[in-house]
Structure 1
Amino acid sequence: MNDVTFRNVRIIFRNFAGAPTRFNAAGGKRTFSILLNENEANELSSMGFNVKALKQRDPDDDPAFHLPVEVSYRVKPPRIVFVSNQGRKRTVIDEDTVSLIDYTEIEKIDLTINPYQWEMENAHGVKAYLKTMYVTIREDELDIEYAQDFGPEVPADYEE
């Protein structure tokens, strides 16, 4: 099964720190979910992914769905990049700093998941693991002001 790429997605249930929650035991997994429309949910479900329906607050609302995604550093770590300074600066996020995503104001996310087909006794399915994620940070006016390019720094011992 091939990787699946999503562009300009919204994520919910952020737990990049792996903090214990009602649904995540202590020392638990780093996870989040991707919001899906009905067509995306049907397509991913037909591929074997564990797509879940969100509880509707209003019966007149269209149904909403989400795909749980795990962020694992055990075998091959995901590549996660923060994009800031109006797209001019990229910062790679590692296992020690990935929890920052839990509190980051996000403008846009593009990501790729790596599907893992599993089988256990009489059950089987496809689990979504994060492979690559680009997180464009929502910058406020001070971020933009202080990110202006002041030119390259010249070392003190530089001679022309």
Structure 2
Amino acid sequence: MANPRVTENITIENAHILFRNFSGRESKYNRAGQRNFCVYIDDPDLAQRLIDDGWNIRVREPRDEGEPPRHYLQVAVSFDNIPPTVYMLTKRKKVKLDEESIATLDFAEIRNIDLTIRPYNWVIQEGTKNEKSGVKAYLRTMYVVIDEDEFAEKYASDEYPQE
């Protein structure tokens, strides 16, 4: 039996992300062209609710003794059907990222992220004994504040002659 349909978005302020692949590069864990990242779900009650609703919450074992395991969710970044709204912010400007420019986030020094994830309910082999269902996470909106290097401010306001 399928889980009840999930319709509520997940909003996370001051999110911590890991395993960034905004460029969609092929790797041991990723097929070419699939853009995604993972986000920690720090509230254990929220993580359990999401698991109960059918979201694919994974657990990352602690690196150091005494630390608790951390829950996280892989989030797809797709520009195909419903493209996400993504802004990169610096001290001086706010830039909307598109399918081409979003790859810059793979190696950016990020200070803060606020994001909204939308659910996509899926079912395979519906009505059979092999029926499976779940909820896939897609990025809806994201605001990324970048930590600029010490020279960014100095050179941002200077005009230089064209060569």
* Offset, 1:58: 3.2
The reply on whether 1:93 has 2:75 as its aligned counterpart is no
Q: What whole-Å deviation, never above 9, does each CA across 1:76-132 have from its counterpart, x for those lacking one?
A: 1111100111xx511000001111000100000000111011111110011100010
Q: How does 1:33-48 map to 2 (within 5 A)?
A: 33-37=38-42, 38-48=44-54
Distance 1:46 1:137, change over 3 A: same
* Offset, 1:55: 2.4
Task: List alignment gaps of at least 5 residues for structure 1.
Answer: 151-160
Residue in 2 that maps onto 1:82? 88
**Identical amino acids, percent of aligned pairs:** 39
More off after superposition, 27-36 vs 66-75: 27-36
Name the CA distance, whole Å, in 2 between partners of 1:14 and 1:36. Answer: 16
The alignment partner of 2:142 has SS state of: strand
Residue in 1 that maps onto 2:3? none
The reply on whether 1:19 has 2:25 as its aligned counterpart is yes
Name the CA distance, whole Å, in 2 between partners of 1:15 and 1:146. Answer: 29
Name the CA distance, whole Å, in 2 between partners of 1:90 and 1:141. Answer: 19
Name the CA distance, whole Å, in 2 between partners of 1:40 and 1:143. Answer: 38
Quote the RMSD (CA, aligned, Å).
1.8
Task: List alignment gaps of at least 5 residues for structure 2.
Answer: 1-6, 126-130
Name the CA distance, whole Å, in 2 between partners of 1:40 and 1:123. Answer: 23
Residue in 1 that maps onto 2:124? 120
The reply on whether 1:30 has 2:29 as its aligned counterpart is no
Name the CA distance, whole Å, in 2 between partners of 1:149 and 1:44. Answer: 49
2:54 maps to a residue whose letter is G
Q: What whole-Å deviation, never above 9, does each CA across 1:131-156 have from its counterpart, x for those lacking one?
A: 10000000222123344599xxxxxx
Name the CA distance, whole Å, in 2 between partners of 1:28 and 1:99. Answer: 11
Residue in 2 that maps onto 1:137? 146
More off after superposition, 41-50 vs 140-149: 140-149
TM-score, structure 2 length as denominator? 0.83
TM-score, structure 1 length as denominator? 0.85
The reply on whether 1:109 has 2:93 as its aligned counterpart is no
